[in-house]
Amino acid sequence: MDFKVENTAPNTSARAGLITTDHGTIETPIFMPVGTVGTVKGVHMHELADDIRAQIILGNTYHLYLRPGMDIIERAGGLHKFNGWNRPILTDSGGFQVFSLSANRKLTEEGAYFRSHIDGSKHLFTPEKVVDIQRSIGSDIMMALDECPPGTAERQYARKSLDLTLRWMERGWKHFCNTEPRYGHKQAWFPIVQGVTYADLRRESAQRVAELGADGNAIGGLAVGEPPEVMYEMIEVVNEILPADKPRYLMGVGTPVNILEAIDRGVDMMDCVMPTRNGRNGMLFMPEGTMNMRNRKWADDFSPIWADGPVSVDREYSRAYLRHLFVSDELLAMQIASIHNLGFYLWLVRQARKHIQDGDFKAWKTMMVNNMSKRL
């Protein structure tokens, strides 16, 4: 994997770059739609590629490992062939999902024991095993196994958790370097910075991560309960240390405003379930703010969802019709809203890239943050 910074924005840490993988080039900053079980909910692959213009999507190691299982994915020739997506794929390590199963998991030096949410069967994720699983999946970018503590964790727990994550990181990196891809394309491995909201722990973690010299680096454990201002502070602390010539991936973030603030602070890659999850519940993101499509005010608004919108559903359907679908509990409502929101998120990062290149990102970002904080 190769990364090149092409432009930087005055008075910010924002940058526009290119990530090159064997499955294609990714223009950064980039938002990555979440396809947990090998699919972005309610969206066809051709819609993701041609209409939404996604350049990379995510898969989830925990969910794919449990279902359909590695035997099926290996026999298919990897996740790209299994789901028909021929552009880059990133997989997380499954750590966040395992650690969210607080009543059904146990952490040890060896790894994380957990019980399947599907059938209760017992499993073990070690740093080495999650590398092997992601080799079987065939993702272009794979993630290290880490522990993701809550944003309100006390310092003693944060210290202990970080130490475990760092030891796991070293084991995962060693195993990655001693194994080979399965399907003929190169794979990258990203370590993850942790440390909750303690600046000194974040700095220590970022330094250890940077020293590995991996193809890229990730920032985890944010947007998990801490105030947005604290999240932004931690991003700044970490990005002062993470190397500028490697892509920086902020995991699981977030709202459109979060994304712009992260880009401002030097983040290149982001993902979140928010555009599809909120879309399924009737919330649409727009350049002027957010719309609740169940509100009565849209019942006789026959204008397009977004007249100048980047995806076809924005122009094909009216706001009144979409509201009708939502109040009638029609599945099409969730599909339209998901496509719209993903289209908006990808439009947003394309606009951010353009304004970085044009040199006026700071002024544009300030305007957009003000607009998108409103409810329409």
CB 165 within 8 A of CB 147: yes
Name the catalytic one among 51, 268, 271, 314. 271
How many whole angstroms separate alpha carbon 21 and alpha carbon 167?
28
Instruction: Give burial (CB, 10 Å; 0-12/13-18/19+) of 230.
Output: middle
CB 346 within 8 A of CB 275: no
The label of the residue with tokens 């770059």 reads 17
Name the catalytic one among 51, 92, 140, 215. 92
Known catalytic residue at 92: yes
Q: Are strands 2-8 and 15-21 parallel, antiparallel or unpaired?
A: antiparallel
The C-alpha torsion from 315 through 320 and 321 to 326, rounded to 10°, is 120
Contacts 24+ apart (CB under 8 A), 234-238: 234/195, 234/197, 234/199, 234/202, 235/262, 235/265, 235/266, 235/267, 236/265, 237/199, 237/202, 237/203, 237/206, 238/193, 238/202, 238/203, 238/205, 238/206
Neighbours of 350 (CB within 10 A): 17
Q: DSSP class of residue 49?
A: I
Q: Which helix (H) or strand (E) holds 168?
A: helix 155-177
Residue 329 C-beta-side C-alpha neighbours within 13 Å: 0
Q: Rounded to 5 degrees, what are φ and ψ at 103? A: -85, -10
Best CA proximity match to 202, nearest among 187, 220, 184: 220
**253: Cβ contacts below 8 Å, ≥ 6 apart:** 222, 223, 231, 259, 262, 270, 271, 272
CB 28 within 8 A of CB 17: yes
How many whole angstroms separate alpha carbon 149 and alpha carbon 218?
15
Residue 230 C-beta-side C-alpha neighbours within 13 Å: 15
CA 35 distance to own-chain centroid: 10
Known catalytic residue at 271: yes
Catalytic residue numbers? Answer: 92, 271
